[in-house]
Amino acid sequence: MSESFEQLLDAEEMKDINVGDIVEGTVISVKEDEIVLDIKCKSEGIITIGEFTSRPNVDLTKEVKLDDKIKAIVVKKNDGEGQVVLSVKRLAARESSKRIEEAYNNKEVLKAVVSQVREGGLTVVVEETEVFIPASLVSDMYEKDLSKYNGQEIEFVITEYVPNQNPRKRRIIGNRKQLVVAEKEAKQKEVLDNIKVGDVVKGKVKNITSFGAFIDLGGIDGLLHISEMSWGRVDNPAKLFNVDDEIDCLVKEINGKKIALSLKFENSNPWLNAADKYGVGAIVTGKVARMTDFGAFVELEPGIDALLHVSQISKERVEKPEDVLKIGQEIEAKVVDFKPENKKISLSIKALLANDDAEVKADEEEVKEEV
**Residue range 115-150, pLDDT digits in tens:** 999 889 999 988 778 899 999 999 998 888 999 999
pLDDT at 370 over 60: no
Q: What is the C-alpha to C-alpha distance for residues 358 and 136, in angstroms, rounded to an integer?
A: 78
**Which CATH code is given to the segment(s) 5-90?**
2.40.50.140
Q: Which residues contact 358 (CB under 8 A, 6 or more apart)?
A: none
Counting Cα atoms < 13 Å in the Cβ hemisphere of 159 gives 14
Are the CB atoms for 136 and 98 separated by under 8 Å? no
Radius of gyration, CA atoms only, the chain: 40
Residue 121 to residue 174: CA distance in whole angstroms:
10
The DSSP symbol for 54 reads S
Mean pLDDT of 281-288: 95
Class of domain 195-267: mainly beta
| pLDDT confidence tier of residue 78, bands split at 50, 70 and 90 | confident
* Cα distance between the two ends of the chain: 130
Helix (H, G, I), strand (E, B) or coil at 68: coil
Residue 27 reports pLDDT greater than 80:
yes
Lowest mean pLDDT among 8-17, 30-39, 112-121, 233-242: 8-17
pLDDT for 320 beyond 50: yes
Does the domain at 107-181 match CATH 2.40.50.140? Answer given as yes
- State in words which class domain 270-370 has: mainly beta
In this prediction, residue 54 carries a pLDDT of 76
The answer to whether the beta carbons of residues 237 and 212 sit under 8 Å apart is yes
What rounded mean pLDDT belongs to the chain? 88
Whether the predicted model's global pTM rises above the 0.85 cut: no
332-343 burial: b if 16+ Cβ within 10 Å, else e: ebbbbbbeeeee
pLDDT of residue 5: 47
Cα 128 from Cα 55, distance rounded (Å)? 9
- Delimiting residues of CATH 2.40.50.140 domain(s) in the chain: 5-90, 107-181, 195-267, 270-370
Which tens digit of pLDDT belongs to each residue from 170-212?
789 999 999 999 999 999 999 999 999 999 999 999 999 999 9
